[in-house]
Amino acid sequence: LPFHPSHAMPIREFKDHMEDVLREVEEAGNQIKGAHGEPFRIMQHLRGGAFYPDQALVSGCAGGLFENIVAMADILRAPLNGEAVSKDPEDIYGIPGNALNLHVNPASLPIMEDLMRQGIGSELALAGVTMRPCICGPCFGVTDTPANNQLSIRHVTRNYSTREGSKPGQGQMAAVCLMDARSIAATVRNGGRLTAATELENVEYRTLHHHFNEKIYENQVVDYYGHANPDAALVKGPNIADWPEMAPLKENLLLKVAGSYHGSVTTDELVPSGEASSYRSNPEKISGFTMISRDPQYVPTAKAIRAIEAGPNLEHAPKNAQEAGDPSGVTFGSMMVSDQIGDGSSREQAASCQKVLGGFANLANEYSTKRYRSNLINWGLLPLRTEEKLQLPQGSYVYIEGIRTLLREGG
C-alpha cells in the first residue's frame, strides 16, 4: 500500500477492509500534497464492492523475471466462469482497449530474447500486453507516471511518495500499490477487478526454464578488462561534468547544520527520481535536487556553508572551536540531522549529492540501511549516531576535536 513498502497486507485482508484502508491512504496522500491543487482522491476506485486500479506494470529487476512473465501468460490463458480450457497457444484472453492494460519490462535482454524464442512474447503480444525495453523506468518515475488521482499496481521494488513520478508540489498526485506479478495478471484477467492469483482456478502453470544466451553480451559489450587503452580520448557532452574539488578532512572538524528534520529522511527525498536522473553525469547539477521535495532551502543553505572558508570565520563558531588553535587544522562543512536517515532505494547519489554540497557528516538516531550508511562512508561523510533525542536546529554548530586521529585509531 502507498506510501511505503512496509505497508503490506494480504489481498484477502485488504478486501475485507478496503474502504477503511483507502481512506487512510487518501489522508496520508493529502498530508503529502498539502494545499497544492485539488485534494488527493482515490475512493473512486471502489465500485460495486470491488477495487479497480488504473494501471498495471511488471518491471525491472524485481518483477520482470522469466518465471514471473511466463506465469502471467499462463494466467491470461486461464478460463473464467466455466469457460472451457483451451490448448491453443493463440487462444488467450484479449485485453480490451478500454480495460486495465498490462505493461511488462523484462529484467534483461537475455530474458526478453528467451521469452520471444520460447513463444511467450508472441502470446503476450496477442493478449494486448505491451513488452517494453529492459529498463527499470516505472520503478523510479522516468516512464509511466500515473495521471492525477490515479492508482497503479506494480511489481517493482518500492512505492515511496512521488517515486512514480508525480509532482504533488505542482498539484499532481498519484500512488502505487506493490503487488506480485501473478496477482497483477489475475487482476487484468478479471477485467481490472482486484484479484489474487490464488483466487483463480484452472490455471495450468508451465514449467519452462530460462536459457541464458551469452552471445547477447558478447556482441554488445566492449570488454577492455586486462587490456586497457589509456590513450583513448573520452568524449564528453555538455552535460557530463567532472567531480568538483572536495576538501580533505583535517585533524578537527567544525560542522554547521544545513537541515534538521523530524521523522525519517528517505533516499528519495535526498535525491528524487524522475527529472533528476538525467543529471547523473553532472554532479553539481544533480546535487541541486537534494531535498527539493522536502526542504527547498536545503541546497542554498548547504551551498552557503560550502562557500565559507573555515579560517576567517571561526569567530562565529563555538568557543571550543575558537580555542582549538591554528584554524588551518580545522575542516568546515555542513551536516544533516534527523531521527532516521536513509530509508529507500540504493541510489548512490543520495550520499554523493550531500558531499558535493560540502557535507561532512549526518547525525541520526538510526540509519535505515547498511547500504546507505556504507555509501556515506565511501563518500567521506561521517554517519554519526546518538541515542539522545535530537534537538539541533538548522544553523547549530558541532565541533569534533581530533576526529582524524580518532578515525585512524578506530575510536
Torsion on CA atoms 239, 240, 245, 246, rounded to nearest 10: 90
pLDDT recorded at residue 158: 85
Q: Please, are residues 54 and 153 in contact by the beta-carbon 8 Å criterion? A: no
Q: CB-based burial of residue 285 (10 Å sphere; 0-12 exposed, 13-18 middle, 19+ buried)?
A: middle
Burial 177-201 (b: 16+ CB within 10 A, else e): bbbbbbbbbbbbbbebbbbbbeebe
Per-position pLDDT tens, the chain of length 411: 999 888 999 999 999 999 999 999 999 999 989 899 999 999 999 999 999 999 999 999 999 999 999 999 999 998 876 666 666 666 778 898 889 999 999 999 999 999 999 999 999 999 999 999 998 888 878 889 999 999 999 999 888 888 898 888 889 999 999 999 999 999 999 999 999 999 998 899 999 999 999 999 999 888 888 988 889 888 889 999 999 999 899 999 999 999 999 999 988 899 987 778 889 899 999 999 999 988 999 999 999 999 886 445 555 556 655 565 567 788 999 999 999 999 877 778 999 999 999 999 999 999 999 999 999 999 999 999 999 999 999 999 999 999 999 999 886
pLDDT recorded at residue 82: 63
Write out the DSSP string of 29-57.
HHHHHTTSSSPP--GGGEETTEE--SEEE
Q: Please, are residues 43 and 23 in contact by the beta-carbon 8 Å criterion? A: yes
Q: Please, are residues 337 and 364 in contact by the beta-carbon 8 Å criterion? A: yes
pLDDT recorded at residue 310: 44
Copy the grid coordinates of residue 301: 543553505
Domains in the chain: ranges and CATH: 11-216 (3.30.499.10), 252-408 (3.20.19.10)
Q: Which residue's entry shows cell 575510536? A: 411
Is this prediction's pTM over 0.85?
A: no
Strand segments (E) across 106-145: 130-131
The closest of 101, 98, 157 to 124, measured between CA atoms, is: 101
Q: CB-based burial of residue 284 (10 Å sphere; 0-12 exposed, 13-18 middle, 19+ buried)?
A: middle
* Rounded-to-integer distance, Cα 58 and Cα 133, Å: 12
Strands 252-266 and 330-343 turn out to be: parallel
* Rounded-to-integer distance, Cα 293 and Cα 267, Å: 11
